[in-house]
Structure 1
């Protein structure tokens, strides 16, 4: 198959540097004048009408480069019937040394995806054994044109190219809050196919697909219909990209298992994992996979099966004890394998992190399963890969673009991760590399910024052992993505990279949002002030202003992808605000330490309206950028964090103007627990408190944070439940704190509030309860957990005083007063339940150490 151009024009221009991503395997350039496409050039091809869109892509590129008319296209049967084309091809093949051409063209990857391109003697040919190869040849041709000043001329060049890895993909997290619109996914696929990516994984499809059998799954989450997925797959086929679902079949089910209708299928309410001892789950999975098969037509299907932390904890405990954990996993994986195969999928992929620990799984899992090894570090050696390969499994390696829970991907880290893991995987016989992006904790980062890491992955996966000229890569990326060869883009990314590499924001990259959304006036101590590190922030603010200015200039001149430049400007504005917020917080702490002495009050008062205005503009722009690429679902939960921050500034203005004393912004309720005797066990703890009400009730609300799973009772009437646990997934994070209107349950006189807390993860079952009862008289009764509460392990007569970690921000981080009437819980860091998770995973004998750390964090005012 081929595309052949003749009647090009010789130019006076000499050879220019070329910027190709990925760089071809074999390249030979002639040191001669360039040749140029003109309106008199003619194009011959043997591509059938079905694939003429490939030629149209080339035509569109030429027209956008100021070619006045489309080239004349002549259809010829094949190159054997065109002596002139065949002669041109044969003569130029001789220039490849020795047997190179025959050796390369005999390789399967060449026959499936490779191409030959020759530019010489005022002619150009792209020849391949497959249409996909022709498509990739055209992409290289377009990049060669983009590399020239006039966009219409190229060097005399010979290229023989094919991928080292059969599979070169990306894994796109669509399930943790930011669900991309179909048009945005198409845009990603089109852009990435230009860099020869050939697989696109959608993560996770078990709760992001509109299942006819289970209509409540994915509801209000932006779940995709069959029609949307079919439209996407049809589009991707034209780009030679396979769309593959990652459908979790054991873990990461907490979004679904949060719903009481599905509790029976899980280890426990809100569990991460399915109950593999319950046969009905296989009917559920069978139906769901069957529905996916109606639209996902690839021969690949990814069953997930990573991080199934809760297996064997509750519902399947007896089964696991009888079968053994390894055998139980093996039985489950085989059942899933058979279901997937039954629905016509030929190639089943599974994550590595559970299965590699059990020899019985490695020995007995079907050998045609493909293991995906994921690792997000910069190590150059991966013994687990060797272990998996020793059991004769095909392997895909999966690094990350390091974007999870951070304002911008960590460039240096992802470059090292991708290069090192792809190289090790290739040398170990891996068939592919798939680079992941994750949206942990609501997916606050704008998804458009994933594209840079994905393109870097495309380059490395084409030829993993090739040394990389990173500066040339970035120049090429900017040329092909934005149509610009402009030093200002290099300067912008250098600024972002420098901030990351030097830790200039004084926080871990994944801790950025914790500080960004934290209450700006959480404390007023000298230790708190000392912990707000602002060294270098003045320079960063100046640098970000410079970046914003450059982005505005570049947006004016960029021929394409202007929205990505807007996203870069937004990142700079976000970082700028972060720095100004932290400086202001430190200045206010100093103001209170000095008890308001001096003339700083007026200046500080002026800063707050400016910060508010800046934050409002950030929110408006954030919403615009989000909705430009993603569905509306998921946005409001993040928007609320911005709105809380605005309210915090309003409250501080009111406080200072009214000359009120500093008020602790955190709720007064403490994180309480009964004891630490039953760590690593699944157990219930009962808490109670008697509340006296001496007047008629006007309003009454209760906010509850559970120690995993809590049932709430007032005067022996069941109110509801709360599930609170550390999770990366959206539904859990969004519901870790819940508010209940308890007005109808409260009566005049004595009221008993009782909490039954079940700690399914084996921690200490801590709870934090805050509530108010507004009386008709105007008085307020406050409900708060503290050491006056009683606790029991049996709910009988043996009630004891509880222990306490103290009130926020101790142990939980900051928890401001909730907006009860609007049903808006306290603003909390998304990692808030981490303490109980940590305790559940540590040796019981080290619990004293955890308590010490919490005390030290409090003593030195580290937590916000």
Structure 2
């Protein structure tokens, strides 16, 4: 353990220093190496050095001090004098973690996450909570969803504050509220199944309670009020009361009411920009580069920061145009990129790196002062959130340097995590398989669709036939094996989960294809072989479930895991049925297997998959051609 002696004013950083000391493996001691610290908020340049006898750190904020201390330690370990400088690119750089798609990070893991942020110099944190926070007036709000209590959020804000990180509440005040509005208490404030009823006084009583409660635990006077993708706005109960009105008028009426509430509580709101930006597009496309927002629309927008969310484009020109058009809306513009934790079961680092490098470079050119990375958990939160660390390191790299330097990023990542970037990048191979384009830019969720792919119906079998995916996953499993078994390292449990997934895929990926081929050829010996594999897979799928369960319970609250239990239970029982069907056919009890007599077609998606992808989508669409639930 390295001993250091801090010289200078420690009052602002002392509490946080106590928190980071253990993860930096240092002891603050009067007998340690002297390090003189100085805060200079007027300068964008930060410096840290060592002349062979004493160290220096000149920093711009509490949070940047912890980043520089961490980097100072990294350089000191090289046993040479050094003098380093870096330039702060953004006033705020942070993350938004999805806590609304079943995976609600527990308090201890969120603290761990905040420590990683501090080491990297990220200074803004949001927990995206549609209904996963406690509102005492509405006991069904977040019921059985792992909602955060006021005490938990206050504890997290205190922890973040000590590290110089601003925590900002991030909620919804228009759409994306299906789970909150499905109960009887919400009948009077529901427009459509997931959109609140604009113009109804009880709606604003409800929203004021949400805004007041959501902001109460936090020091920050800012709040993210959501308002994105409210596509059903004005089409339900609102239409029945008021007739047909244009969406802009409805949206503007509502936003003025919500902003009035935030002003009443001395809060500065920000919102996702898409519902306004779409008004300028003839097709309603959020990324329409020809969109022209009328001045009369712009003039009617209340004072609210606009958050442009874009984690899809790889070319800087697209970001330049979109940012320019957002700046023309005369509001402060904040940029939200993405670390692709929502691709499926595995993270997509290729898409993350290509979009982030372009997006943040454009933000620098266009004078954007605040950026954050979204970490969505679409369709059940299947991806462990700490798999986002490589993307977070990229945000740090882009936030403290004019230009991206891969070697520097990899060195800092190794120092911060004890892993090489290459080791984490092995996870990319779970989705970037044969048949998928380089960097998986069209976001194939190969490992997800193949895990849940039905062994008899095989909706994805035609897409993956002949690609040799079982052999591919066997190679991936071999690469992950040492990372999954080294208990001396921090993220062994994450790699153990993905190792187990690769093992399952090494047998399951081609299972349906081989069963169909054997059945069509009336090859009973081959079917016997696949029957043995099915029995094997029943056990290995349950082993995967248990590994996934362990990592979920370590990082998240237990609520939401029931959905994945149901999914694992579904594929487990489908293999039980497959075993029954194949056994009956092979012993002559069953004359034919109708499921295997059907000609297999390429997967039919609700949208165009694009080139270089083998499939993606929601669980409900990929497991059956029938109706999973509903009338």
Please indicate, yes or no, whether the TM-score normalized by the shorter chain is above 0.5: yes
Q: How does 1:77-476 map to 2 (within 5 A)?
A: 108=42, 110=44, 115-128=46-59, 130-145=61-76, 148=78, 153=79, 155-204=80-129, 206-268=130-192, 271-317=193-239, 324-345=246-267, 347-356=268-277, 357=279, 359=294, 360-367=296-303, 369-377=304-312, 378-381=314-317, 382=319, 383-463=321-401, 465-466=402-403, 468-476=404-412
Q: Which residue of 1 aligns with 2:457?
A: 522
Give the Cα separation in 2 of the matches to 1:514 and 1:38.
47
Q: CA deviation at 1:55?
A: 4.7
Q: Which residue of 2 aligns with 1:479?
A: 415
- The secondary structure found in structure 2 opposite 1:404 is coil
Q: Which residue of 2 aligns with 1:798?
A: none
- The secondary structure found in structure 2 opposite 1:435 is strand
- The secondary structure found in structure 1 opposite 2:338 is coil
For each residue in 1:681-729, what CA deviation from the matched residue of structure 2 results, as whole angstroms up to 9, or x when unmatched?
A: xxxxxxxxxxxxxxxxxxxxxxxxxxxxxxxxxxxxxxxxxxxxxxx9x
Q: CA deviation at 1:121?
A: 4.8
Give the Cα separation in 2 of the matches to 1:38 and 1:314.
64
> Is the CA contact (8 Å cut-off) linking 1:198 and 1:241 kept in structure 2?
yes
Q: Which has the higher contact order (CA 8 A, sep 6+)?
A: 2
> Is the CA contact (8 Å cut-off) linking 1:267 and 1:315 kept in structure 2?
yes
Q: How does 1:580-619 map to 2 (within 5 A)?
A: 580-595=507-522, 597-619=523-545
CA separation of 1:74/1:578 partners in 2, compared to 1, >3 Å: closer, same or farther? closer
- The secondary structure found in structure 1 opposite 2:237 is coil
CA separation of 1:181/1:664 partners in 2, compared to 1, >3 Å: closer, same or farther? farther
Give the Cα separation in 1 of the matches to 2:389 and 2:146.
22
Q: How does 1:695-774 map to 2 (within 5 A)?
A: none
CA separation of 1:137/1:315 partners in 2, compared to 1, >3 Å: closer, same or farther? same
Give the Cα separation in 2 of the matches to 1:250 and 1:409.
29
Q: Which residue of 2 aligns with 1:807?
A: none
Give the Cα separation in 2 of the matches to 1:362 and 1:108.
34
CA separation of 1:307/1:481 partners in 2, compared to 1, >3 Å: closer, same or farther? same
- The secondary structure found in structure 1 opposite 2:122 is coil
Q: Which residue of 1 aligns with 2:10?
A: 47
Larger mean CA deviation between 213-222 and 575-584 belongs to 575-584
> Is the CA contact (8 Å cut-off) linking 1:396 and 1:430 kept in structure 2?
yes
Structure holding more strand per residue: 1
Larger mean CA deviation between 330-339 and 649-658 belongs to 649-658
For each residue in 1:348-380, what CA deviation from the matched residue of structure 2 results, as whole angstroms up to 9, or x when unmatched?
A: 11111011225344223244x211100122231
Give the Cα separation in 2 of the matches to 1:528 and 1:401.
26
Q: CA deviation at 1:61?
A: 6.3
> Is the CA contact (8 Å cut-off) linking 1:197 and 1:241 kept in structure 2?
yes
Q: How does 1:561-710 map to 2 (within 5 A)?
A: 561=490, 564-595=491-522, 597-658=523-584, 659=587, 660-661=589-590, 662-664=592-594
Structure holding more helix per residue: 2
Moved over 6 A (4+): none
Structure 1 gap ranges (5+): 1-36, 80-84, 90-103, 667-727, 737-810, 817-825, 837-864
> Is the CA contact (8 Å cut-off) linking 1:529 and 1:590 kept in structure 2?
no
Larger Rg: 1
1:814 to 620, 624, 629: 624
> Is the CA contact (8 Å cut-off) linking 1:59 and 1:70 kept in structure 2?
no
- The secondary structure found in structure 2 opposite 1:243 is strand
CA separation of 1:621/1:438 partners in 2, compared to 1, >3 Å: closer, same or farther? same
Q: CA deviation at 1:508?
A: 5.2
Q: CA deviation at 1:215?
A: 1.0
- The secondary structure found in structure 2 opposite 1:72 is coil
Aligned alpha-carbon RMSD (Å): 3.4
1:72 equivalenced with 2:31 (yes/no): yes
- The secondary structure found in structure 1 opposite 2:315 is coil
Give the Cα separation in 1 of the matches to 2:241 and 2:479.
59
For each residue in 1:116-144, what CA deviation from the matched residue of structure 2 results, as whole angstroms up to 9, or x when unmatched?
A: 32321522122346544533432321332
Give the Cα separation in 2 of the matches to 1:653 and 1:536.
23
- The secondary structure found in structure 2 opposite 1:354 is helix
Q: CA deviation at 1:233?
A: 0.7
What TM-score, normalized by structure 1, do the two folds share? 0.62
Q: CA deviation at 1:188?
A: 0.6
Give the Cα separation in 1 of the matches to 2:353 and 2:470.
29
What TM-score, normalized by structure 2, do the two folds share? 0.84
Give the Cα separation in 1 of the matches to 2:462 and 2:333.
49
- The secondary structure found in structure 2 opposite 1:444 is coil
> Is the CA contact (8 Å cut-off) linking 1:59 and 1:71 kept in structure 2?
no
CA separation of 1:531/1:417 partners in 2, compared to 1, >3 Å: closer, same or farther? closer
Structure 2 gap ranges (5+): 280-292, 597-616
CA separation of 1:300/1:162 partners in 2, compared to 1, >3 Å: closer, same or farther? farther
Q: CA deviation at 1:265?
A: 1.0
Q: CA deviation at 1:161?
A: 3.5
Give the Cα separation in 1 of the matches to 2:346 and 2:234.
38
